[in-house]
Each structure stands twice: as structure tokens, then as C-alpha cells.
Amino acid sequence: MAEFDAIVVLGAKLASDGSSTPALRRRARHGAALLNAGIAPVLILSGGQPVAGVSEAEAMFQIALGQSADPERILLESASRTTWENARLTAALLRKHGWRRVLLVSDAWHLPRAQIAFRAAGVDVQPSAPRAFEISTISHLRNVGRESLALPWYLMRVLTTRPPR
């Protein structure tokens, strides 16, 4: 029996030509590896923000296929534009299918805020971050700095938002 009902992978910004960025590839590959390892029977790829006609979810789908993930076990949520929307839209999909045990994939610096958003949307998640060997110190500091600024805003949003039923 699988440990989780679903694996949810959060998208990351696409390049200006619509190609995948290192963060998007890293997250998608990690999610596909978890699916292939039998951690959960389904992989949900969440992310809109289309660039050149391709959403983050669609770009991750192609990456997952390249990792031999079964396309029949992958669902796409391609309307979200923010982490908050990732959580809201994916939570509705999870509730529709009755999936409660959820593994959430994103980069380590993004997971605390993502967990807050998903819990506010009524979904208790367990975090899973891919290793990020190719990240420079400057990129890492920029990402951590951005998250430290966004976290208080998310906490306020949680305090003023009622969870869905």
C-alpha cells in the first residue's frame, strides 16, 4: 500500500521562451521519482502562468514523462498563478477524489509558505524537497529572502481566511 494518496508538485517560473527552469525541472523530476517509487498512486502537477502557450503544469508533465512516469497516473492543475491559488485549486481536486494523505513537493525554502497555504485550504501535507545542488549562493539567498518577506503576508491571509468545508 502506498504511503500517500497523492503527490502534489508545485510549479516554478518558466523561462521567457516557455522552457523549463532549473527549479521547475528539479521539482518535476523529484515528483516523478516519488511516483515511480510507489510513494503514491497519483501525481498532481500544479501551476499555471502560461508562457508561449505552455503552463507550468504542462511543462512539468513533459519532464515527468521523460522520467518514465505513467501519464495515466498524472493530473494537471494549470489555472493557478500563485502558491495561494496552487493550494486552493489543488485542495478542491484532492477533496473531489477523497485524497487526504498528501506529499507536497517544492524547494526547501518555499515549503514553509506552501504548507501554510495548503493547511489554510484545509489540506494537511507532508513536505518533500528535492536536493538543489546547482543553486548558487546568491540564488539561494535571493530565494530565502523572498520567502521571508512573503511568509508574514501568508500568515495574515491565513488568519483572515476561513478554511473550506
Higher pLDDT, residue 1 or 63: 63
Average pLDDT along the chain? 89
Q: What is residue 146's predicted lDDT score, i.e. its pLDDT?
A: 64
Backbone angles phi, psi at 88, to 5 degrees: -65, -50
To which residue does cell 546568491 refer?
Answer: 138
**Residue 41 confidence class, pLDDT cut points 50, 70, 90:** very high
Rounded-to-integer distance, Cα 105 and Cα 108, Å: 9
Q: What is residue 152's predicted lDDT score, i.e. its pLDDT?
A: 72
- pTM metric for this prediction: 0.84
Q: What is residue 1's predicted lDDT score, i.e. its pLDDT?
A: 74
Tens digits of residue pLDDT in 123-163: 999 999 998 756 656 665 665 666 666 667 666 766 676 65
Provide mean pLDDT across the span 107-128.
Answer: 94
Least confident of 35-49, 56-70, 96-110, 129-143: 129-143
Give the domain 6-160 fold: Rossmann fold (3.40.50)
Give the percent of the chain with pLDDT over 90: 73
Q: For residues 44 and 75, is the Cβ–Cβ distance under 8 A?
A: yes
Cα atoms in the Cβ-side hemisphere of radius 13 Å centred on 67: 22
- Write out the DSSP string of 87-105: HHHHHHHHHHHT---EEEE
Rounded-to-integer distance, Cα 111 and Cα 108, Å: 5
Tens digits of residue pLDDT in 18-33: 999 999 999 999 999 9
Q: 111: helix, coil or strand?
A: helix
